[in-house]
Every structure is written in C-alpha cells, then in structure tokens.
Structure 1
C-alpha cells in the first residue's frame, strides 16, 4: 500500500528512455531508435506511450515551442514491478520543415502516461538536415567562396531564409545572398536576393532579385553548379537593371509559374516527393501560435510586420504519422 502511494507521487515509478541510433536525419527520411521501459516498485497501468516532435524557435531573446507531430507508440498495458521492455521506434520526418539552423531546434518528447501517477517523460534533441539537393546547391556556393552566415536559416513569414557572404572572388562586390528554396517536380527554385555594393552600381548597396531554377540533373553535377552560380551572379552584378525590381524572373521554360507569388504549394500526391517550400508550413504555424499569444514585438521581429502569414498554413500533416512498432 505504501509503495503504491509512493508511485503515485512519482517515487519509485516507471521510467522511459528513448535511445536514438543517431540524433539526426534529413527531412523526409527515417529516424530510428529504441524505447527502454523499466517498471517501478509496484505494478502500474500504462494508459499510453507516445512521442511528440517539437519545433523550438528562438526569436528576440525568447523561445517558442510548437508540436509538429504526435506519434502514437503503444496503448494500454500493465507494467509489472521491475519489468523491462524494449520497443523499436521508426519515424519518417515530415517534409518541408525548417532544417536545424540558427534559432531552429527540435526535440522528441517521449511521454509514458501512467494511470493514477506522475507521467514519466524523456526529452531528446535531434538535428534535421537539409535535403541532399539543397545541400549540394549550398556546397556549390561554398566552392565559390560563399560561407553561410551565423544567422542563416532564420524563420520568416515566407519560410526559412538562408544567407551567405563572400570570402573570395565576389568579396567587395556582393554584400550577401539571401534565398528561399522551393522544391518542384523537376528541380529546385530559389528566390534570390543579392545585395550588391557600390563599386559596380554607384550606390552604397542595392538589392537585386531573381528567381532561379536548378534541375535535379544539374544539382547532381557540383562542378557545373558552381559554374552556373558564377554565371548567374556575374549577370546580376553587370546587368543590375534587369534585376532591380520586386518581381522575379523565371529561367526555366515550359513550367507555368507566377513570379510574384511566394506561397506555391503543389500537391504531395503526385510528382516529386520533395515538392513544396522548405520551412513554409512551419513559418505559418509558428506565426499563428505567436499571434494567439499576442506577442506583438516578436511577430514584428521574426515575421516582418505587415506580411500576410495567415495563408501560410498548409496541409502538410493531414496524413497519418509514419510509425512502425514491431
């Protein structure tokens, strides 16, 4: 009787530990591990075992958590004193989340729901890596001497914004490159904003914008990618009048595209599996969460006041969570 009383207070109660085989995976890929469950000093009824994937965004000196997915693992069962169970864990990360970068973190929160007792909780950090095609685009930029800025990957109302600065041939000509990534059926579309310095244009700094398409075949040729990056940037530097406006110019023929429209979300049920905007869904999800909490200063800082973010909420998680329990 005394043992049951202690268990209700969480003393000598059941324990849970999720051990991941590796604490990282790319968006759309599987992450695997095992649950280690240990019974307490008395028999306990476990109502359920589930895992939450939580996104943590740091902005303006504060941090905000949002549950991305709830992953059911096991329903009602009895756990005997000292009993040990091991359950496998396999989960496919949702597409188009922001990748782990400046101010963007993820954790798995495992919760063992104990009837008439204190729940056992375990928390594990994970890193979500960029899709391979996007990583190759960044690597090609790196070959030209562009390095990712410390604040690259911040969440904005349009999605996740990546930022780079030059260290070699474009140093003193280009201040920085910023971009959003959109995966389409045949390749990746980047919406670029390039800040060019006064040596070329006669101004202290000027923003040039361009919509650039890279086919998946091009992405597989890193040397060719670096050459294309160099050509594109040279064109922008030496022909600034073509890009010094708010609209974007498409460089992929035969694919309908509205160059003034940021929020393009093709269906997930056909075409390439990576179709959509990296970080697009989470930007809208987080914006809604912050708005509900009425934290206006953070909204202005993190999502550019005046931008319409309510349309960002898509249907990325309407489908079932992918979980395999043997």
Structure 2
C-alpha cells in the first residue's frame, strides 16, 4: 500500500464508495423502508467506522422578510459496527426500518430523500442520495378523497416552519390547501387548509382551518381581522373512516 495512495484516499480519490439500493422508492407513511447498502473498496485498505441512513426533507421559513429554504432530518439509522474494507472488495449490508408517521408527503414543493453516509477513518466521508416518493397513509388518503367528493380541489401543499404551539417533533408542519371548485361550498368558502398528525397506525389528528368568503362591509371587516377563519381540531380512529365525509360536511356547514 503506497503512501501516495493513502494521500489520495484521504482526500476522497480512490477511496471506498457507497451506494444505497432501495427495494421500492415509493413508500406509504408508516410502511417499512427496505434495501441494501453496497460498499465498494477503493485502492487501499480502509476502516469503516459507521454507515448511517438519514431521511430528510425541505421546508420554508420566513427570515428577515424573506422566505428561505431549510432542511430537516426526519430519521437517522445506524447500520453497522466498525469493519475493514479491502482494496476492490464489495460488501453488502441489508437494511429495514419504519418510515416515521410524521414524514411529509412528496406533493407540491415537498421533497424527501434518503441520504447514505459513511464514516471512514482518515478520509473524506462518501455520501449517496436517493429521492423517495412518499404516499399518504390510508387515513390521510380517505380524508383527502372525502374533500374531493365534497367539491374541493387541492391547490397547494407545502412544508412550512411552525411555532412551538403547533409543531410537534419536527420544526415544520405540512399544510394542504383546498379550494371549492364545485358543490354547495363554492359560493360560501374561499379555501380550506388541513394538517394531519398521525398518532399511531390507527388514529389521526386532523386540523382544519375554514376560510369563509367576505360578504358586504361586515364581511370585509371580518376578513381583515382574520375573523373569517375557523380552526377545528378532531381525532379520527380507523373504525370511523367511513364517517369522514359526514364529519367534514358537518364542520364545513357549521363554519360556512
């Protein structure tokens, strides 16, 4: 093993490479993330201290009157104990872990990716990034479908920085903005915003903000003071999912 090769490996040239291969890049919230990590040895023997996976996403935050993009880590998983990779050797490490229930969906401007990192002694650590498509949990999917049946269309989805009063584990919330494009609420509501918080596989907490259309001078005054908005919060169990359309209809009728 030449001293020159050691120098090159220390700056990443001829060092070990890492590649994550997912069994499926489309994953539902709460399902398992499965795949393998392939580590290929470089030009010299190297000590691999740690291989880890992180699930990351992006969100928006207002700073100094500007909207800036931020990054948040959703989960981090360590895969191995230290080992040595020989020149030209290939090692395969399988992995399985559960996607956290608060992982945002990849709709609108929201993105989610798997980052693979390797801690190699005395070298620049290689990384690998894989985009993942996140689909809704059935309780979320049924709620969105019920809103569609009531005449609402999804206009926008974004991850937005949230205050300590609203957020939970993560520094942001994912907001779903719907507008009435048909049905009985087309003339009475401006929009409906929804936030989901899965408590476990069987229960979901739903936040709904109903924005009424301004009517006349008093209506415009209410709109200016945000008095035209109503915030409703409730919990839904999987056994009640067949009632979600009726629950939403009652809430919208009450606040329209």
Taking structure 2 as the reference length, what is the TM-score of the superposition? 0.79
Q: Is the 8 A contact 1:189 1:213 kept in 2?
A: yes
Offset, 1:124: 1.6
Offset, 1:30: 0.7
1:194 aligns with 2:244: no
* Residue from 189, 194, 199 that aligns with 1:174: 189
Distance 1:50 1:112 in 2: 6
Offset, 1:101: 4.1
Q: Are the structure 2 counterparts of residues 24 and 58 from structure 1 closer, same or farther at C-alpha, using a change threshold of 3 Å?
A: farther
- Name stretches of at least 5 consecutive residues in structure 2 with no aligned partner: 168-172
Q: How does 1:240-279 map to 2 (within 5 A)?
A: none
State the partner residue of 2:18: 16
Offset, 1:201: 10
Count of residues in correspondence between the two structures: 234
State the partner residue of 1:37: 39
Distance 1:32 1:216 in 2: 26
Offset, 1:182: 4.3
Q: How does 1:305-316 map to 2 (within 5 A)?
A: none
State the partner residue of 2:122: 116
State the partner residue of 1:217: 239
Q: Are the structure 2 counterparts of residues 40 and 184 from structure 1 closer, same or farther at C-alpha, using a change threshold of 3 Å?
A: closer
1:27 aligns with 2:43: no
Q: Which has the higher strand share?
A: 2
1:66 aligns with 2:60: no
Q: Is the 8 A contact 2:57 2:111 kept in 1?
A: yes
Distance 2:11 2:138 in 1: 48
1:165 aligns with 2:179: yes
Offset, 1:202: 6.0
Distance 1:190 1:51 in 2: 30
Offset, 1:136: 0.7
Q: Are the structure 2 counterparts of residues 200 and 141 from structure 1 closer, same or farther at C-alpha, using a change threshold of 3 Å?
A: farther
Offset, 1:13: 1.4
Distance 1:198 1:234 in 2: 16
Q: How does 1:136-147 map to 2 (within 5 A)?
A: 136-147=142-153
State the partner residue of 2:170: none
Q: Is the 8 A contact 1:153 1:162 kept in 2?
A: no
Offset, 1:138: 0.9
Taking structure 1 as the reference length, what is the TM-score of the superposition? 0.63
Offset, 1:165: 0.7
Q: Are the structure 2 counterparts of residues 28 and 39 from structure 1 closer, same or farther at C-alpha, using a change threshold of 3 Å?
A: same
Root-mean-square deviation over aligned CA pairs? 2.7
Write out the 4+ residue segments of structure 1 that deviate beyond 4 Å after TM superposition. Answer: 182-187, 199-202
Distance 1:41 1:200 in 2: 76
